Amino acid sequence: MTSALVDALRSDLEAARFRVDHLEELWGADAEEALRRGNRVPANRALAASNSPAASLASLFVLGELGDPDAVAAALPSLGLDGAAELGLAAVTAGRVRPLADLRPYAFVDPHGAGEWWIASDLGELATGGSLRVDHVLGVGGASTTLAGLQFTDHVGSVLDLGTGCGIQALHARRFADRVVATDISERALGYARLNAELNGVDGIEFRLGSLFEPVEGERFDRIVSNPPFVITPRSPDVPAYEYRDGGLEGDALVASVVDGVARHLVPGGTVQLLGNWEYREGADGLERAAGWAAAAGIDAWVIERERLDPPRYAETWIRDGGTRPGTPEFEQLCAAWLDDFERRGVEEVGFGYLVLRLADDTPPFGRAERASAPLDGVAGIGAHLAAALASRDAIAAADDASLLSVRMRVAGDVTEERSHWPGSGDPSVILLRQGGGLRRDIRVDSSLAAVVGACDGDLPLGVIVDAVAQLLETDPVRLRSVIATEVRELVVDGILQPVV
């Protein structure tokens, strides 16, 4: 890979307007939705009606169709077909241009504003029409965007991207860090990651080859982000071990090993944001097991479970992810191998979610494990929400109840209240505090706590509000102060209340 060729590719992509909004204009909203369902026919038909450079590039690199050499050459006037071949993007075979990689625009919004990159990776099963190769390098998918949204966005000196894949998390991390070290066990993945960084003009990322923490032994970072190869895969020669998702360990041991290793590579106060899953075994709660990994490592942890799958659904999800279709003999053989493995080890369900870890400095220890009460797909800014909630918790963690009641509180701007009444009743039967962002919690509260929260506008100390509510409800103010102090601590971590400091 030469800088001149990458510069030429960038110039051609810019000239072709190979951007998310332009492609959506070319194939329309219905075709866009069809692509998300794995159907490329509507997009193909729309692109065939256009002779624009962007249409030629999208047909080749996004849909994986064979291209006309003249049309592709016209769309890549600076790079040319020979340059595309040298970069490993395409090759001319039997008079047609065959895509060798997936290359597509990717748009996002973060606290720095809107951005857009081009991301190269291996062709997916939609383009290849078959099972993936075991060293497949994944592009931007649902897990990628989830982890990107989970990343904390305050500025730090250094970030480690553990298992970088195509490099998407390293690119995001660089927007909030002075330098990034990105590691992967796959040289193929690092090749794509280097290309993507250079193509998008992102410097300050160092790429290192090796497994997990081996390439950074003895080093510490302000932040670690990772979408590790956590997929639970039967340890059988008949089951493909895809590098991008299988860490080679049995069950959920890979995630446990990552949690165990982060403390040796964080500076005090440093944080980790990673995805993972954990097994529910006979008599063992999976969420509690995941929280226990952090406790054993001596680090703070906030573990959030977003969903649980039974063994058949878990197996089906990852078999399809590898490009094997249901109804085929291969699919059924793989499913049987997964179910045999789960049965042998007594696995009843698998939980999936987020782990936010921190190496404690001078703040009181913190630990929380919870199950999401609302679907989190497509929710933006979860990382910023969790970071703000942790900061608010730290601000009051050392305060006793008397000190806490002297703090002024403000209700977060995304919180609404919902009340339900039995017909004809003046008193509510249910009061919910509903969170519009973050983890979108619905928290059931009683009338006294609802009254306190409703009066928290940042002007009066919490204790003054509690005493006024006690007088209004004709209840014991001493008892109410104790109860409210405990409940407020939880609402602060939930992000419902924010201390005014």
356 with 455, same domain? Answer: no
306 with 216, same domain? Answer: yes
410 with 445, same domain? Answer: yes
pLDDT at residue number 362: 83
Question: Looking at the domain assignment, is residue 434 inside a domain?
Answer: yes
375 with 400, same domain? Answer: no
Question: Looking at the domain assignment, is residue 318 inside a domain?
Answer: yes
Question: Looking at the domain assignment, is residue 114 inside a domain?
Answer: no
389 with 403, same domain? Answer: no
Spatial contact of 9 and 79, defined as CB atoms under 8 Å apart: yes
In this structure, the strands spanning 156-162 and 177-184 are: parallel
370 with 400, same domain? Answer: no
178 with 306, same domain? Answer: yes
Q: Give the domain-ending residue among 394, 409, 439.
A: 394
Question: Looking at the domain assignment, is residue 126 inside a domain?
Answer: no
If one counts every other C-beta atom within 10 angstroms of the C-beta of residue 123, the result is 21
First-last CA distance in the chain? 52
Q: Extract long-range pairs of 174-180: CB within 8 Å, 24+ residues apart.
A: 174/202, 174/204, 174/205, 175/110, 175/112, 175/115, 176/112, 176/151, 176/152, 177/204, 177/222, 177/223, 178/204, 179/204, 179/205, 179/206, 180/204, 180/205, 180/206
Spatial contact of 181 and 158, defined as CB atoms under 8 Å apart: yes
Question: Looking at the domain assignment, is residue 118 inside a domain?
Answer: no
CATH number of the domain where residue 432 is located = 3.30.390
Q: Give the domain-ending residue among 104, 122, 146.
A: 104
446 with 473, same domain? Answer: yes
Alpha-carbon torsion 292, 293, 297, 298, what sign?
A: negative
Question: Looking at the domain assignment, is residue 198 inside a domain?
Answer: yes
Per-residue confidence in pLDDT tens, the chain, 501 aa: 579 999 999 999 999 999 999 999 999 999 999 998 889 999 999 999 999 999 999 999 999 999 999 999 999 999 999 999 999 999 999 999 999 999 999 999 998 999 999 999 999 888 887 788 888 999 999 899 999 999 999 999 999 999 999 999 999 999 999 999 999 999 999 999 999 999 999 999 999 999 999 999 999 999 999 999 889 999 988 898 888 888 888 889 999 999 999 999 999 999 999 999 999 999 899 999 999 999 999 999 999 999 999 999 999 999 988 888 888 999 999 999 999 999 999 999 999 999 999 998 888 899 999 999 888 877 788 999 999 999 999 999 999 999 999 999 999 999 999 999 999 888 898 999 999 999 999 999 999 999 999 999 999 999 999 999 999 999 999 999 999 999 999 999 999 999 997
Q: Give the domain-ending residue among 394, 419, 435.
A: 394
381 with 404, same domain? Answer: no
Q: Measured between alpha carbons, how far is residue 433 from residues 216, 400, 446, 481, 497 in Å?
A: 44, 25, 10, 20, 11
Question: Looking at the domain assignment, is residue 122 inside a domain?
Answer: no
366 with 423, same domain? Answer: no
Helix H segments across 183-224?
187-199
CATH number of the domain where residue 232 is located = 3.40.50.150
284 with 363, same domain? Answer: yes
Question: Looking at the domain assignment, is residue 130 inside a domain?
Answer: no
The H or E element containing residue 233 is none
Spatial contact of 31 and 50, defined as CB atoms under 8 Å apart: no
> Into how many domains does the chain fold?
3
412 with 285, same domain? Answer: no
- Return the structure tokens found at 180: 């990034």
Range of the domain at 476: 395-499
Query: CA-CA distance, 415 to 202, in Å (whole number)?
Result: 37
